[in-house]
Chain A
Amino acid sequence: MSAQRVVASAWRSLARSKARSFFMMLGVIVGIAALTALASVGEATRQETLRQFKRMLGTFDTLTIRPGAGSTRGMPSLGSVEPSLKFPDGPAIAAGVPGVKRVALVQQAFDLDVSYRDATTVPLVLGVSPNWADVRGESVASGAHLSEEDDRSLARVTVIGADVARVLFQGEDPLGKVIRIADVPFQVKGVMASRGAGPGGASLDNMLVVPVSTASKRLFNRDYLTTLVVQLNDANASDRVAEDVRALLRERHRIIPPAQDDFTVGSPRATLAQISKVGTTLSKVVTGVAVIATLIGGAVIMSLMLIGVSERRREIGVRRAVGATRADVMRQFLVEATLISALGGAIGILIGAGGATVGALLQKLPPAYMWSMIGGAVALSVAVGIVFGLYPAWKAANVDPIEALRS
């Protein structure tokens, strides 16, 4: 029998018992739909997480240096960090380490009241060097960024985030107005362009920046930093530059082995790799569950096929009598099982991809499909049909035609 006729004949056989065919498919449909949907939702979420981190970090070609040994959890604040990272460390790195483009200095706190008339908010307050906006690629929606002159003259000026502008000014134009940061008056010089949501979906716009020199002398009265942001000429050199920066800082801080570093050099790339790995672990678990569901679907196919074989003994007998070989019968049942399973897989993929699209749109995320997983789902459903069809097909091939035709 030609392959085309085998498939056509199997198709007819399935089409004529639609209810049974549907139930045979059901397990595979559910399994593959789950596999496709979960993988696609997982992929959409992972891509969104990456986008959020990218928005928070600004660029990937940077190193972040924080005071204290070991990675600090959560956001560092001036009140809680070691006073080990000093202002001159920044220029020293910029001058002393090859491959460094510029170094931004940051002092941050998130417990200061900021008010304008009756409105008050508690945003993230950043004292930053004038090059900070360039390092991060931030732009202003209106007004201007902080300047070198602002920094030199300890100007009480600020550039505020979109959320702060909205909460304090409620539609009023903030430019030129004076707000009070921890009761110190600052004039609004600019409003930053919205940065959207960061990790966890929290807004990145609930913040304001002031010149770091002003912050240190007039706001915090502290001579140390919470962060140094080192921008590289070449993102691929980050490991080497990180090592050089570390050596330089150890020397400047007079740290002699075996003493530990009193600072930590972090790289966004490492953080991103971590996130991707978390995503991978999650999708592995999800995949495992869905694969098990699909295998259960295969077991359903096998048991219904076995019932089918005993119900169709007479048909098998007739086919053998008119000239079908054992191999012909085996092939027929195997193709039926594979067709059922592949069809179930195709329906499952449609349902799963549809579900993932709806799910992503409900979460207001751009839908993403994990094509490798969908390809895998197709292969899996075909393989399930073959593997779980094998035993029933073998049973069918070994039906004794004499027995089957008796009575």
Chain B
Amino acid sequence: MIEANHLSRTYQRGDGTPVTALRDVTFTIAAGEFVVIRGASGSGKSSLLNILGCLDTPSSGRYRLAGEDVSVLPDDERSHVRSRRIGFVFQSFNLLPRATAVENVELPALYTGAAPDRARARKLLERVGLAERAEHFATELSGGEQQRVAIARALMNDPPVLLADEPTGNLDSAAGESVMQLFTSLHEGGRTIVLVTHDEQVASFADREILIRDGVVASDTVRRERSPA
């Protein structure tokens, strides 16, 4: 599903000196895997996530998503790839504060050209256990609830891949636990999940852990055999 081939990413600093965030990163993630990318702050894991999420392109190397080389696509085609293939979950939830839960869930469908499907949005809210909160504004929900709305939103266009960036980073341990269980059950439903974290506790939910240190893959460990899909 995800093939990273010798990915490098170099930024220009303000004074023009180049900074290398990723260097020669190579790995493959199969469909249905639940992988954690772990690393300390500044390790390059966010740069990697931006590339995997098609928000950024590598300075060199190839990135293939579902067989398609997306590292060479222009901006608007990468938007379409994000729309169809990737669901994002962020540390700070990033719901639209002036929209209701169900409107937030619906948001990705706005950019597919398909007819609006509120019924599907409601079903997804039900799936994350928030059916009765559908008409609440994002600001009226607790952190754990907001993150579950965000997961429902990530599922709206039924993407094969979910990318999560520290999804429990802003949650207390109980809410974090319930969010991780949600990811686990989505994984059991066959979805490919890539989760970025610095937290070993969170990493223990995944099948496999890729450790990033100083922009390179330091280790790639299978924690447990893939559960049959």
Contact = CB atoms under 8 A, between A and B. Distances in A.
Contacts of A17: 98
A18 to B, nearest CB: 11
Contacts of A320: 55, 79, 82
Contacts of B107: 318-319, 322
B111 A402 contact: no
Interface stretch (A65-73, A214-222, A325-333, A369-377): A325-333
B55 A402 contact: yes
A317 B90 CA distance: 11
A292 B103 CA distance: 40
A370 to B, nearest CB: 40
A271 interface: no
Contacts of B112: 323
Contacts of A12: 99, 103
A401 B50 CA distance: 10
Contacts of A317: 94
A333 to B, nearest CB: 14
Interface in A245-261: none
A319 B96 CA distance: 9
A5 interface: yes
A236 interface: no
A145 interface: no
Contacts of A402: 50, 55-56
A364 interface: no
B94 A325 contact: no
Interface string A303-325: 00000000000110111111111
A401 B55 contact: yes
Given A1-B110, A5-B110, A405 B83 contact: no
B123 interface: no
A407 interface: yes
Contacts of A147: none
Contacts of A319: 107, 111
Contacts of A363: none
B75 interface: yes
Nearest to A318: B94
Interface size class of A (residues with CB under 8 A): 20 to 34
Given A13-B98, A315-B96, A317-B94, A323 B55 contact: no
Contacts of B50: 402
Contacts of A13: 98
B18 interface: no
Interface in B86-121: 88, 90, 92, 94-96, 98-99, 103, 107-108, 110-113, 116
Contact of A323 (B83, B103, B116): B83
Interface in A383-402: 401-402
A9 interface: yes
A16 interface: yes
Nearest to B95: A318
Given A1-B111, A323-B157, A318 B79 contact: no
Given A1-B111, A5-B110, A323 B84 contact: yes
Contacts of B75: 325-326
Interface centre among B84, B92, B96, B157 (most CB of A within 10 A): B96
A324 B55 contact: no
Given A5-B110, A5-B116, A401-B55, A323 B94 contact: no
Interface in A173-226: none
A69 B88 CA distance: 89
Contacts of B153: 322
Nearest to A328: B111
A325 B90 contact: no
B79 to A, nearest CB: 4
Contacts of A401: 55
A347 B199 CA distance: 56
Contacts of B79: 320, 323-326, 328
B223 interface: no
Given A9-B110, A16-B98, 9 more contacts: A317-B94, A320-B55, A320-B79, A321-B55, A322-B82, A322-B156, A323-B112, A324-B79, A405-B94
Q: Which 3 A-B pairs have the closest CB atoms?
A: A323-B83, A323-B111, A322-B108
Interface of B: 50, 53, 55-56, 75-76, 79-80, 82-84, 88, 90, 92, 94-96, 98-99, 103, 107-108, 110-113, 116, 153, 156-157
27 contacts: A1-B111, A12-B103, A315-B96, A317-B94, A318-B95, A318-B96, A318-B107, A320-B79, A322-B83, A322-B88, A322-B107, A322-B153, A323-B79, A323-B82, A323-B83, A323-B84, A323-B108, A323-B112, A324-B79, A324-B110, A325-B80, A325-B111, A326-B79, A402-B50, A405-B55, A405-B94, A407-B92
